[in-house]
Amino acid sequence: MSMVELDTFLDDVRAVARDVAAPAAVAVDAEARFPHEAIDALRECGALGAFVPASHGGAGLPLEVIGQACFELARGCSAVGMVFAMHQIQVASLVGFGVGHAFFDAYLRDLVSEQRLIASVTSEVGVGGDLRRTIAPLSQVDGAMHLEKQAPTVSYGVHADDLLITARRSAEADEADQVLELARSDQSTLEQTSSWDPLGMRGTCSPGFKLIAEIAPDQVVPVAFAEIAPRSMVPCSHLFWGHVWLGIANEAFERAAGFVRGQARSRPGWTPPTAQPLSQLASTLQAMRATLAAATAEYQAMLLEGASTDAATTFAYAIRINSVKVTMSERAAEVCFGALRITGMAGYKNDTPFSIGRQLRDSLSAALMIGNERILATNATLLLVQKST
């Protein structure tokens, strides 16, 4: 692993996106297989530890740079961008709430030196997609913590080195009283319980699993998940995912723009009718960029040294960050669909330089990842008492 530096990190990531992720993207999609080559290339340049602070051997790069990396990777291959984003969401939770505790201090050092990939097991059969409830309890047996959980969706679970899992604190605790714990792959088994042949984001390899894990008590993050979710996991998810969706939309836009330029070159002096819908997509993309940049800067300010994520626990912030998710996910699919309308048959076919099918299918997952209907329902409830946003 080479040393990660701020000034070369994004160049390295762009090179991985262009030279490794993009060339494999069609095969990753067609075969619904994990993008090993790109993740290995990211390991080579130390990218998996980019958000770990320097005190723990990492690069300690700012959140906005991690977001930019998600964007760059997703331009080449949506699945690579999403795997990288999901990993960094888990890293952020451990950096925010594990540092200062012996197990997690040592773990973060290992993550950097071994470039370990973390997957998350937050979904569960029976809670209806609610991140903030878990049925499966941690149970203590002879000093070890035991967990069995039925998860309907675990992205790249079998390809990860470690799993970050939500659980009910104990068999006596309420379903909302959750904890987060880390299990190394040699401490857990994943038995696949459903198939994986989805419309898009096929390289994330996200079928259902029955998880069984056996860990030591100090592998439980010492802060309640009720604190971790609003302060770290929810904002990081929406911001990093948002960068992935912007990357997908950007790629679709660039293909459509190339198509329109080709038409224009064929008859100089004539503005092709596709140019105007392209200009509409450009303004949508610009609005997406502005939304994401403002939201990233707001959260980055909370993470700065000496600052606090207390502001992230307010209703006002929950409404804003939820709105970012809804905006980015809906607009990304709009841009991809618009790009298809512009490119016509060239975009509809899967084997032209202007193919939009993969980006369109991938973008449609955005509205489903924590369903926008659920998010809007949450905001609707919060707005019953919230006075300003």
Partner 1 sequence: MQPMIEEIRNVLRDHSGLGSAVDGLADHADLYSAGMTSHASVNVMLGLENQFDIEFPDHLLKRSSFESMAAIRGAIESLAVDLPAT
Cα dihedral across residues 305, 292, 317, 78: positive or negative: negative
Nearest distance in Å: CB 121, partner 1: 22
How many residues are present in the chain? Answer: 389
Q: Which residue in 135, 134, 152 sits closest to 192, CA to CA? A: 152
DSSP class per residue in 68-135: HHHHHHHHH-HHHHHHHHHHHHHHHHHHHHTTTSHHHHHHHHHHHHHT--EEEE---TTTTT-TT---
Beta carbon nearer to partner 1, 44 or 175: 175
Here's the x/- map for partner 1, 135-174, by CB under 8 A: it reads as: --------------------------------------xx
Paired tokens of 206:
């996200």
Nearest distance in Å: CB 177, partner 1: 4
Nearest distance in Å: CB 384, partner 1: 6
Beta carbon nearer to partner 1, 185 or 322: 322
Q: Could you give the CA distance from residue 270 to residue 326 in angstroms, rounded to a whole number? A: 38
* 178: phi then psi, degrees, rounded to nearest 5: -105, 155
Nearest distance in Å: CB 389, partner 1: 9
Q: Which residue in 140, 209, 152 sits closest to 181, CA to CA? A: 140
Interface size with partner 1, residues (CB under 8 A): 21
176 lies in the site for partner 1, by CB under 8 A: yes
Nearest distance in Å: CB 230, partner 1: 7
Beta carbon nearer to partner 1, 102 or 385: 385
Here's the x/- map for partner 1, 207-226, by CB under 8 A: it reads as: -------------------x
Cα dihedral across residues 216, 234, 158, 18: positive or negative: negative
Beta carbon nearer to partner 1, 130 or 330: 130
Nearest distance in Å: CB 311, partner 1: 9
User: Which residue has 């804003």 as its token pair?
Assistant: 320
Q: Could you give the CA distance from residue 212 to residue 229 in angstroms, rounded to a whole number? A: 23
Beta carbon nearer to partner 1, 6 or 380: 380
388 lies in the site for partner 1, by CB under 8 A: yes
Q: Which residues bind partner 1 (CB under 8 A)?
A: 132, 173-177, 226, 230, 310, 313-316, 378, 381-382, 384-388
